[in-house]
Amino acid sequence: MDFAPNPDHEALRKGVRQVTARFDDDYWAACDRDHRFPDEFYRSLAAGGWLGIAIPEEYGGAGQGITEASLLLQEIAQSGAAMNGCSAIHLTIFGMNPVVKHGSPAERSGWKFALAASRCGPQREYCREHSQPNRSGVAPIKSDLIGVYDFELSAI
């Protein structure tokens, strides 16, 4: 096994550090204190295409692998975001991989997959699709839950 530094991995790390540098300890402390999702952080990563890092290019992602996705999360954690930053995006990055690997062509195509894979993320799409009363998607579950997130896809 070759443990020499990989120039592509170093470039990835540098790019992630440029994004995470905008979110200091005060930002993360405010998210903790206010019990809020780090939307600004999430949107910055989405705007830079980082959330689709492990999704093949043919489906709107960056075409990298799990190693690169792990490096992304490592840089986020080291930035001071720790698990707050990582847990905000880990499902987006890794959650669609089973669909990529085992999904049907129909499941891997279409706007919902592209959005989930690279822009808004499966947790956002899941919350949007499943946060309306009686819209659990799994009969016979009945829910009175109302929307947790309210966002415009066009704003991402």
pLDDT at 149: 40
122-138 per-residue burial string, b: 16 or more CB within 10 A, e: under 16? bbbbebbebbeeeeeee
pLDDT at 116: 52
User: Structural domain of residue 75, as residue ranges?
Assistant: 7-155
pLDDT tens per residue across span 145-154: 444 444 444 4
Can you tell me the mean pLDDT for 22-49? 93
- Residue 27 within any structural domain of the chain: yes
Are the C-beta atoms of 82 and 32 separated by less than 8 Å?
A: no
Alpha-carbon distances, residue 115 vs 2, 22, 59, 84, 121 (angstroms): 35, 24, 10, 22, 7
- Residue 31 within any structural domain of the chain: yes
Q: How many domains does the chain divide into?
A: 1
pLDDT at 131: 39
Segment among 30-39, 115-124, 135-144 with least mean pLDDT: 135-144
- Residue 101 within any structural domain of the chain: yes
pLDDT at 129: 42
- Residue 1 within any structural domain of the chain: no
User: 135: which 2 tokens?
Assistant: 């819209």
CATH number, residue 76: 1.10.540.10
- Residue 70 within any structural domain of the chain: yes
Mean pLDDT of the chain: 76
- Residue 151 within any structural domain of the chain: yes
Instruction: Please give the share of the chain, as a percent, with pLDDT higher than 90.
Output: 42
- Residue 2 within any structural domain of the chain: no
